[in-house]
Amino acid sequence: MNTRQSGPGTTAQHALEGLRRAIIAGELRPGQRVRQEEIADNLGVSVAPVREALRVLEQEGQVEYRPRRGYFITELWASDLAEIYALRQVLEERAARKALPTLDDDAIERIALAARDCAEAAERGDVAAELAANRRFHFGMLESPDQVHTMRLIRLLWDSTESYRALYYNSPEERAKTVHAHDAILAAVRRRDADALVAELDAHRSRALEVLTRVLDGGGER
Amino acid sequence: MNTRQSGPGTTAQHALEGLRRAIIAGELRPGQRVRQEEIADNLGVSVAPVREALRVLEQEGQVEYRPRRGYFITELWASDLAEIYALRQVLEERAARKALPTLDDDAIERIALAARDCAEAAERGDVAAELAANRRFHFGMLESPDQVHTMRLIRLLWDSTESYRALYYNSPEERAKTVHAHDAILAAVRRRDADALVAELDAHRSRALEVLTRVLDGGGER
DNA sequence: CTCGTTTAGATTTTCGAAAATCTAAGCTAT
DNA sequence: ATAGCTTAGATTTTCGAAAATCTAAACGAG
């Protein structure tokens, strides 16, 4: 059953989406080898587009490449997460302060909608939808037209930890806290209070890192 | 004449190097379309590895991809350069302050050697060698084992402006200033004076941005 | 003359199979 | 036994050609 008909996207894009989904869903776990032909067969395509997609994920740091040995899902340690989250703090603070004054009512409405989507997805336990809505929420308040390169880096940092974030989202008690944190962040945006916004974002991020670190050191010790 | 024998590297890596060289050498200019088959023929390989290499360059921001239309060498404007250099300032200051205390005599010797290589390459007008040595010089003082993700981002920022830096290096008067700036930077490293180092790096970077911006607004106005 | 349509050529994209390489089990000599 | 060598099977990597799509020039209707 070939799920793909020649549509607007290319087969390589389809392969990239399939790989991302598999990583988020936990079908491909950190450290695991990625068998190219298996992926290709599952998606009903040949290996060429799969390899292109893997090159993209390699640059994003989601897979590691060892020539003639293949691709492996990247394994992150607590120290990696700490470094990545510290970088996010620096870059996101800059982005938030630049973008906040430029947000119009329309943009804020989109952010609020994303927050609602996020809470709803969390409610019904749809991790993939929650991850997507969470991104819309955060990126919606950081994005500004003269900061495309900053956003490129921030997106990269988010990408490299996406699979670990999926773990975090499975804790029901954390979900409630996330919803509350988003409310506080949104309120700061509405008040146009940059310092408060940055403080709330920092707190939200720290909380996530803390939980993630605990999950990591506890559960998947290689 | 196939320049490639099956060696340690893969054909895709060979294609990536070839593309990088062509971009630095100015054979592929900003805005220009990249004809896959032409690249493949020139390198004596097929299109598959060329496409993989292009995916890498796409993630680095060196080429832009439009599905079914092909790849185009990225065109940067003065505003893009300003943003990228501002990001470098933030990330490189962080990296330099972290790395400086960890540099041993051996590391400093490597940096000094890179500075000499850089000056020599400049002397004989070998732009490609100068670019490579310049990287060794700068990265040598930023790199530290617990900052791999930071370095990943910094490397990305350097990559995206590599072709424009090649322009800058063609000015003979600027070359002399670069040598002098490197001396001042190296001296600060030897004194272990973090504040001075950051100040010198900032000055060096600002100078480069200034010249680059002038070259850009003057010459290739599309 | 302008706008939209058709069509031929160029280019990208994907495939299926061949070639190169790696992995690990089995074997031999010490 | 153990270390090193050999070999069969699995996997990655590359190729050459077919299929899909785009570009731009030629054409025709209004």
B178-187 long-range contacts (CB < 8 A, ≥24 apart) are B178/B118, B178/B122, B178/B134, B178/B204, B179/B118, B179/B119, B179/B122, B181/B207, B182/B115, B182/B118, B182/B119, B182/B137, B183/B115, B185/B141, B186/B111, B186/B112, B186/B115
Sheet holding A70-73, edge to edge: A33-34, A70-73, A63-66
Query: Is the CB atom of residue A165 positioned under 7 angstroms from any atom of strand D?
Result: no
Is residue B6 pLDDT above 60, yes or no? no
Residue B220 pLDDT > 60, yes or no?
no
pLDDT digit string, tens, across residues B9-19: 899 999 999 99
Q: Which of residues 18-57 of B touch strand C (CB under 7 A)?
A: 33-37, 47-48, 51
CB-to-strand D under 7 Å, chain B 18-57 = 44-49, 52
Integer Cα distance of B84 and B171 in angstroms: 22
pLDDT tens digits, B41-78? 999 999 999 999 999 999 999 999 999 999 999 999 99
B149–A61: do the CB atoms touch at under 8 Å? Answer: yes
- If asked whether residues A90 and A171 sit together in one domain, one would say yes
Query: Across the interface, do B152 and A10 touch by the CB < 8 Å criterion?
Result: no
Domain CATH code at residue B187: 1.20.120.530
- The residue segments making up the domain with residue B30 are 11-73
**CATH code of the domain in which A15 resides:** 1.10.10.10
Chain B residues with CB-CB distance to A56 below 8 A: 55, 58-59
**CB of A187 nearer than 7 A to strand C:** no
**A93 and A61 part of one domain:** no
* pLDDT in 10s for each residue of chain A, 222 residues: 333 444 568 999 999 999 999 999 999 999 999 999 999 999 999 999 999 999 999 999 999 999 999 999 999 999 999 999 999 999 999 999 999 999 999 999 999 999 999 999 998 989 999 999 999 999 999 999 999 999 999 999 999 999 898 877 777 788 889 999 999 999 999 999 999 999 999 999 999 999 999 988 765 444
**CA B113/CA B133 separation, integer angstroms:** 9
Of A73, A98, A118, the residue at which a domain comes to its end is: A73
With CB atoms and an 8 Å threshold, state whether A94 touches B90.
yes
Judge if A114 and A207 occupy the same domain.
yes
On whether residue A170 sits in a domain, the answer given is yes
From the alpha carbon of B47, which nucleotide's C1' atom is closest? D15
Q: Is the CB of A128 under 7 A from strand C?
A: no
**How many alpha carbons lie under 13 Å from residue A204 in its C-beta half-sphere?**
25
The reported pLDDT for the residue numbered B8 is 61
pLDDT for B174 equals 84
CB-based contacts of B219, cutoff 8 Å, min separation 6: none
State residue B171's pLDDT score. 77
* Whether residue B1 has pLDDT greater than 50: no
Which residues of A touch chain B, with CB atoms under 8 Å apart?
8-10, 13, 48, 51-52, 55-56, 58-61, 67-68, 79-80, 83-84, 87, 90-91, 94, 146-150, 152-153, 156-157, 160
Q: Could you tell me if A173 and A118 lie in one domain?
A: yes
Q: Which of B10, B55, B62 to mutate to test the interface with A (most CBs of A within 10 A)?
A: B55
How high does pLDDT run on average in chain B?
Answer: 92
Shared domain for B87 and B150, answered yes or no, is: yes
- Residue pair B138/B213 in contact (Cβ under 8 Å)? The answer is no
Residues B117, B207: one domain?
Answer: yes
> What interhelical angle do B36-43 and B47-60 show, nearest 10?
110
- A6 in any annotated domain: no
Contact flag, residue A7 CB and nucleic strand C, below 7 A: no
CA distances from A169 to A165, A214, B116 (A): 6, 13, 52
DSSP state of A66: E
- State how far residue B180 is from chain A, nearest Cα, in angstroms: 30
The answer to whether the C-beta of B98 is closer than 7 A to strand C is no
- Cα separation, A54 vs B153, in Å, equals 19
Q: How many domains does chain A have?
A: 2
pLDDT at residue A218, rounded to an integer? 66
User: Do residue B149 and residue B95 come from a single domain?
Assistant: yes
Distance between CA atoms of residues A98 and A147, nearest Å: 8
Are both B123 and B53 inside the same structural domain?
no
> Has residue A1 been placed in a domain?
no
- Positive or negative, the CA dihedral B15, B16, B17, B19 is positive
Do the domain assignments include residue B48?
Answer: yes
Whether residue B196 is contained in a domain is answered as yes
Residue at which a domain ends, from A58, A73, A88: A73
Strand order in the sheet with B70-73: B33-34, B70-73, B63-66
β partners of residue B72: B33, B64
In a shared domain, residues B58 and B84: no
CB contact under 8 A, B52 and A52: yes
Is residue B22 domain-resident? yes
Separation between Cα atoms, residue A50 and residue A40, nearest integer Å:
6
**What band does B219 get if pLDDT is binned at 50, 70 and 90?**
low
Q: Where are the beta strands (DSSP E) in B48-160?
A: 63-66, 70-73
Q: Is residue B2 part of a domain?
A: no
Does the beta-carbon distance from B52 to A56 stay under 8 Å?
A: no
B62 lies in the same domain as B97: no
Q: How far is the CA of A31 from the C1' of C29 (A)?
A: 38
Q: Domain ends where: B21, B56, B73?
A: B73
- Do residues B10 and B49 make contact, with C-beta atoms less than 8 angstroms apart? yes
- Find the Å distance, CA of residue B33 to C1' of nucleotide D18: 24
Res B5 pLDDT > 80: no
Q: Which two tokens stand for residue B141?
A: 């003082």
User: Residues of B near A (CB-CB distance < 8 A)?
Assistant: 8-10, 13, 48, 51-52, 55-56, 58-61, 67-68, 79-80, 83-84, 87, 90-91, 94, 146-150, 152-153, 156-157, 160
A197 and A149: one domain? yes
Is the C-beta of residue A2 closer than 7 Å to nucleic acid chain D?
Answer: no
Give yes or no: residues B88 and B67 share one domain: no
Residue B6 lies in a domain: no
